[in-house]
Amino acid sequence: MTTHSPLIDINALARNRARARPDLLYLHRAAAEDVQDRLSLVNKRFTSMAVVTPFPEIWKEIWPRAHYVPDTEALALEVGAHDLVVHGLCLQWSNDPVGQLIQCRRALKPDGLMIATLFGGQTLNELRVCLSEAEVALTGGLSPRIAPMGEIRDLGALLQRAGFALPVADSTLIRGEYPSMTRLMLELRGMGEGNALTGRSRVPTRSSLFEHASALYVKHYGNAQGRISATFEFVTLTGWGPDDSQQQPLRPGSARQRLADALAVPEIKLPD
């Protein structure tokens, strides 16, 4: 029987998060503020909120009375206990993202809302390109350095697989500037977002690789002020707990009027 190693090393992830600095968790603050803005547009009052996050202290700044649980494989969420569940900027580190979303759906009351925010596929594309180019040039090969992150179409499909009603996925790009690639990587470490891939190299990386990658970064993504840019893609997944009160799609063939009549255009029969 063939067994596959999980993509994420949860022990390495825990160590990375233990080194996180509160002053560098600005992306988590941005994610929390974005969720707050989204909720302000929802015509519904939520009374029992749960938040899945490795950094509850950040989210508590906005929702001090919410129920907080870590993003462990089995979420400590009671079935049907919440009318709002937020999965806060950590789904990209799950070995079973569909399982995480299913657990969030089960924790919802009927017609409850789930919002998951996570990093999407364009996140750190500049760093990924430069590290890869430098490593190929110096060693002739590649090692896993940045976790693969899902594209919005694939991530949106997870909502349907998890059984949510009215699923929606959208993305926002945030571009930051840093004085150097070294500073960017130090801040990523301070966010708890260091390399936690199971397949990562355990051999210390040669300084020459980072020096070459830094030069490439400045060449490809530097600006006139000598700073470099880095992209972070926030993908937001929104879904509702199924309920009979929600709008339902019509059965195929149940329409009472032809589309051609509604548009006042002639109907053209296609060949068989």
Number of domains into which the chain is organized? 1
Residue 87 in any domain: the answer is: yes
Q: Among 77-81, 119-123, 240-244, where is mean pLDDT lowest?
A: 240-244
Residue 108 in any domain: the answer is: yes
Q: What is the pTM of this model?
A: 0.86
Query: What is d(CA 71, CA 69) in angstroms, rounded to the nearest whole number?
Result: 7
Provide the domain limits for residue 83. 10-242
Decide if pLDDT at 18 tops 90.
yes
- The model's pLDDT over 96-146, given as tens digits with 9 standing for 90+, comes to 999 999 999 999 999 999 999 999 999 999 999 999 999 999 888 778 888
- Tell me the percentage of the chain whose pLDDT exceeds 70: 89
Looking at residue 133, its pLDDT comes to 94
Residue 263 in any domain: the answer is: no
Looking at residue 269, its pLDDT comes to 58
Looking at residue 147, its pLDDT comes to 83
Residue 80 in any domain: the answer is: yes
Residue 70 in any domain: the answer is: yes
Residue 249 in any domain: the answer is: no
**Can you say whether residue 230 is alpha, beta or left, with left for phi > 0 and alpha for psi between -120 and 50 degrees?**
beta
Assign residue 220 the CATH number of its domain: 3.40.50.150
Looking at residue 33, its pLDDT comes to 97
* Amino acid identity for residue 39 in this structure: L
Angle made by CA atoms 116, 27, 195, in degrees to the nearest 5: 90
DSSP code per residue over 94-161: -S-HHHHHHHHHHTEEEEEEEEEEEE-TTTTHHHHHHHHHHHHHHHSS----S-----HHHHHHHHHH
Higher-confidence position of 7 and 261: 7
Residue 95 in any domain: the answer is: yes
Looking at residue 1, its pLDDT comes to 46
**Per-residue pLDDT band at 264 (split at 50, 70, 90):** low
- The model's pLDDT over 150-187, given as tens digits with 9 standing for 90+, comes to 899 999 999 999 999 999 999 999 999 999 999 999 99
Q: How far is CA 4 from the centre of its chain?
A: 23
Q: How far is CA 80 from the centre of its chain?
A: 24
| Mean residue pLDDT across the chain | 90
Residue 93 in any domain: the answer is: yes
